[in-house]
Chains A and B, each alone.
Chain A
Amino acid sequence: MPALIELENISKIYQMGTLQVHALHNVSLAIEAGEFVAIVGASGSGKTTLLNIIGCLDHPTSGIYRLDGQDVSRLDRTELAHLRNRKLGFVFQAFHLLPRHNAVENVELPLLYAGMPPGQRRQRAVELLKFMGLGNYLNHMPGELSSGQQQRVAIARALANQPQVVVADEPTGNLDSRTSDEIYREFQRLNRERKQTILLATHDPTIDRWGPRKVTVHDGTIVGDVPGKAA
């Protein structure tokens, strides 16, 4: 059985004027369903680019990427949107919540684009927010929530359509260390309790404590891959 995520010789080259920047160079990586993977590396190492490609937000310059056995490079913009909607859930460093919509509406957003009827949508969003410990903040606007709470809303949103992979790009980058720990604990809980495949990028050296498989990226190539500790 093929892995959930398969990257074969993925390269990404940015054209900056006359200068070519190799963000990724012949990266190959396989991630099985149910894994908890941390991509670590300094800023500029290429880990965000790698994550964006896996998350179908960006296209590789060359190489093959298969998600759930499907060759992503053959898909058009609409099919990619469906893929992001159903199979992927994003958590961003800057949270990226819609500022004029409350917590429930933000979590409902992927369900809206999935075509779920309003009543069901709301019910599911409320369940997820409760699961993330935000039962008392359902109608709060993002601006009325702490950064930790905002990131929990974002995680609830990422989980909305029961994605196969949650992709988190530096999810604790804007958080203090205590809140960071809470967020990591949530990811660990999701992985252990729900067998949720989680892929997160970080340059936080303390990530080891949460026991993920650790893939190290340096100058656009993978330089280390340490298996995770079983729970």
Chain B
Amino acid sequence: MSFLSAIRVALDALLVHKGRSFLTSLGIVIGISAVIAMVSAGEGARLLLEDRLSSLGKNLILIRSGTPVSQVMTAGGTPLTRDDARAIRQRLGYELTGVAEVQQLQRLVSRHALHHPTAVTGTTPELPPVRGWEVQNGRFLTDDDLKKMADVCVLGATLKDKLFPNQASAIGQTVRLDVLELRVIGEMVPKGRSPLGFDQDDQLWLPLTTLQRKLGGGDRLTMIVTSTHSAEEIDRVKADITALLRQQRHVQPGNENFDVSSVNEITDLARTVTTVLQLLVAIVAGISLVVGGIGVMNIMLVSVTERTREIGIRMAVGATPANVLSQFLIEALALSLAGGLIGLTLGLAASFVMAGFIGWPLVISPLAIVAACGVSGAVGIFFGYYPAWKASRLEPIEALRHE
């Protein structure tokens, strides 16, 4: 019997029970669509995360005061000061791209009748090189601005749009911050959101000295930010900074009242979380495929029992065991492949919808598509083999007598 005839025979048998065939494939449909959608979601989330992490700056090292209580939080401790930053700059400057001091407040910034609450960051000139940020228009803060405690500021893209809607540039104009009139000297290239969802472009930068002296920010620094030239140096530099600050602040190892952490640690943590999530999804999808496969096996066993007499008739007129085996195997394969194709379609549709709603990039992995087809086929063959084998082992005379 030709292969094409065998496929015809198998498909005819499936179409007799359309509803049942559909319900049987449903397990595979759900399994495959889950795999496709979740692989796409996982990749999309990962890309989005990578994008946000890279926006923080490469090889970034954050130094904060207090005792670390988690990878992103600290509590208590003696504040960091400009002296700490100065020590790092003097002693370790050779292995750093720069050292930037940061003091951050939340303030209302206004221009005429427009008011906008924003992150006000007092900082030093080395912040852009350290974080890999670039100036779009004008210039960033200079040492001269700091020395003079100049009333100048640099705007993030979001803040600029809020205060100067429909204006190509805000440079030379002024904004009001508490008692100060600040002249806009620069605008930054947009950086997007941070991994924690904070809009890094909704920000105003001004000389650290202006913030500390004229706005009453005090000596306390929120953090010191620095970065290394390459990722391999991070651990060594972190150790150097830690040793230096221990000496500077007179603390024993283990009792640090400051925390030195790198963004790479956060990145690693985030990667671990996404990997674990993807693994979980893979397990769930795998289970649903196995359950779907058992559904196929179950219905094929029912089908073999129901059609025992048909098998007997076919054997009586000359069907070989191999003919019967292939007929039922093709039926199982067709069931699960059809399920796989429907699942693939639904999964792709779901990926598309998710990408649209959540806003991560739409990633369609060709590998996932090939794997989905391969896996559904394999499930069909694996779970269809036993019922098909059972059918092929029937004795013709007993099969014919079956009621």
Stretch at the interface among B128-136, B315-323, B370-378: B315-323
Residue A157 CB within 8 A of the other chain: yes
Residue A78 CB within 8 A of the other chain: yes
Complex contacts, B5 vs chain A, CB 8 Å: 112, 118
Interface positions of B from 219 to 267, Cβ below 8 Å from A = none
Residue A178 CB within 8 A of the other chain: no
For B305-337 the 0/1 string (1 means CB < 8 A from A) is 000011011111111111100000000000000
Complex contacts, B316 vs chain A, CB 8 Å: 55, 57, 84, 90, 92, 96
Residue B400 CB within 8 A of the other chain: yes
Residue A58 CB within 8 A of the other chain: yes
* Complex contact B313–A78 (CB within 8 A): no
* Complex contact A85–B396 (CB within 8 A): no
Complex contacts, B313 vs chain A, CB 8 Å: 96-98, 109
Residue A52 CB within 8 A of the other chain: yes
Bound-state CA distance A85–B1 (Å) is: 12
Contact partner of A96 among B2, B395, B400, CB < 8 A? B400
Complex contacts, A118 vs chain B, CB 8 Å: 5
* Complex contact A113–B397 (CB within 8 A): no
Contact partner of A115 among B1, B322, B400, CB < 8 A? B1
Bound-state CA distance A9–B40 (Å) is: 72
Q: Who on chain A is nearest to B321 by CB?
A: A77
Q: Who on chain B is nearest to A81 by CB?
A: B320
Residue B73 CB within 8 A of the other chain: no
Residue A185 CB within 8 A of the other chain: no
Number of interface residues of B (CB under 8 A): 24
* Complex contact A115–B317 (CB within 8 A): no
Residue A220 CB within 8 A of the other chain: no
What secondary structure prevails in chain B residues at the interface with A?
A: helix
Contact partner of A114 among B9, B12, B310, B318, CB < 8 A? B318
Shortest Cβ distance from A3 into chain B, in angstroms? Answer: 23
Complex contacts, A161 vs chain B, CB 8 Å: 318
Residue A110 CB within 8 A of the other chain: yes
Complex contacts, A86 vs chain B, CB 8 Å: 318
Shortest Cβ distance from B213 into chain A, in angstroms? Answer: 93
* Complex contact A78–B400 (CB within 8 A): no
Bound-state CA distance A167–B318 (Å) is: 14
Bound-state CA distance A118–B319 (Å) is: 17
Bound-state CA distance A78–B323 (Å) is: 9
For B1-40 the 0/1 string (1 means CB < 8 A from A) is 1100100010010001000000000000000000000000
Complex contacts, B2 vs chain A, CB 8 Å: 115
* Complex contact A109–B317 (CB within 8 A): yes
Contact partner of A52 among B319, B322, B397, CB < 8 A? B397
Q: Who on chain A is nearest to B316 by CB?
A: A90
Interface positions of A from 151 to 182, Cβ below 8 Å from B = 157, 160-161
* Complex contact A110–B318 (CB within 8 A): yes
**A112 touching B320 in the complex, CB below 8 Å, given contacts A57-B397, A84-B315, A96-B309:** no
Bound-state CA distance A93–B173 (Å) is: 104
Shortest Cβ distance from B348 into chain A, in angstroms? Answer: 35
Contact partner of A58 among B309, B320, B321, B397, CB < 8 A? B397
Contact partner of A113 among B16, B309, B318, B395, CB < 8 A? B318
Bound-state CA distance A160–B317 (Å) is: 10
| 29 residue pairs bridging A and B, Cβ less than 8 Å apart | A52-B397, A55-B316, A58-B397, A78-B321, A81-B321, A81-B323, A82-B318, A84-B315, A84-B318, A85-B318, A86-B318, A92-B316, A96-B313, A97-B313, A98-B310, A98-B313, A100-B12, A100-B16, A109-B313, A109-B314, A110-B317, A110-B318, A112-B5, A112-B9, A113-B317, A113-B318, A113-B323, A115-B2, A160-B317
B-to-A contact residues, CB < 8 Å: 1-2, 5, 9, 12, 16, 309-310, 312-323, 395-397, 400
